[in-house]
Every structure is written in C-alpha cells, then in structure tokens.
Amino acid sequence: MKLAVLRSYREQVEDTLRVELAAVEQALGAAVENLRRLEAEAEHHAKLYLTDVRTGLKADEVVWRYADFGALTEAVRQAQEAVEAARQRRDQKLGEVLEASREKKKLELLERRDDLRAQRELDRREQRAGDEVAGRRFLAQRRHDAAPKHK
C-alpha cells in the first residue's frame, strides 16, 4: 500500500477524532455550566434558608427545606461526577487525537523520505545518462581527431 494512501487515511482518522473531541468538549462545557448553575442555586437556597431561619420557620417548613437541600446536594454531586467523567472522556479523546496526529506525521516523514530517495535516484539516472552522452561525444571527438586527414 502506498504511503500517500495511508497518510490520507490517517488524516481522515485524525479529522474524525477532532470532530469527536469537539463534541466531547461541548458536552464538558454543558456539564460544567450545569454544575455552576446547580451550585449557584444551592447557594441561593442556603442564603434564603438562613434569612428565613432568622425570621422564624415552622417545623414542617424546616423538614421540607431539609429534603429540598438533600435533593439539591445530590444533584450537585451528580453534576460534579458528570463533569469529572466528561473531563476524562475529553482527556482520552485528546490523547487519541494526538496519537493520530503523530502517526500521520510519521507517514508524512516517510513519504518525504521516499520522495527524496526517488528524486536522488532520478538525479543519478540523469547524471549517468549525461555522463554516457558526454563519454560518447568525447570518444567520437577523439576518433575524429585521430582519423587521417584527407586533403
């Protein structure tokens, strides 16, 4: 298989991985945004709770708020896990992109080496052909110079 075909395949693999990486990064961004929103909501509820405690809360309201805080705390924990999982997917996908890029660069280097090798071989053939033509001219000139002259 020719190196150009392999390199082209590697370029396609790298491009595909870059598209996948962009999607993973977008998912990470959404997970981070969700976490920030939930943390802000939890902070807001905590401040509201403290304000309401100062003004006096009924026992049933305390129980209801406690359950609400529990659910919100669980949502924040799940959002943190989602962010961590998304970061791990991003890191893994980034590693795959970098590896694909290295493989493509290796193939590009091999392709350039083959091109240089082919060019050097072509240059050698041209040099040999030129040397052969020059040699024939030289021999023809010597024969011509050595031939008896007729007057």
Distance set, CA 36 to CA 41, 71, 144 (Å)? 8, 16, 96
Domain ranges for the chain, please list them. 3-115
The CATH code of the domain at 3-115 is 1.10.287.1700
State the average pLDDT over residues 101-109. 93
At 47-101, the pLDDT tens digits run 988 888 888 878 788 788 888 889 999 999 999 999 999 999 999 999 999 999 9
Cα–Cα distance measured from residue 122 to residue 115, given in angstroms and rounded to the nearest whole number: 10
State the average pLDDT over residues 2-24. 93
Cα–Cα distance measured from residue 128 to residue 101, given in angstroms and rounded to the nearest whole number: 40
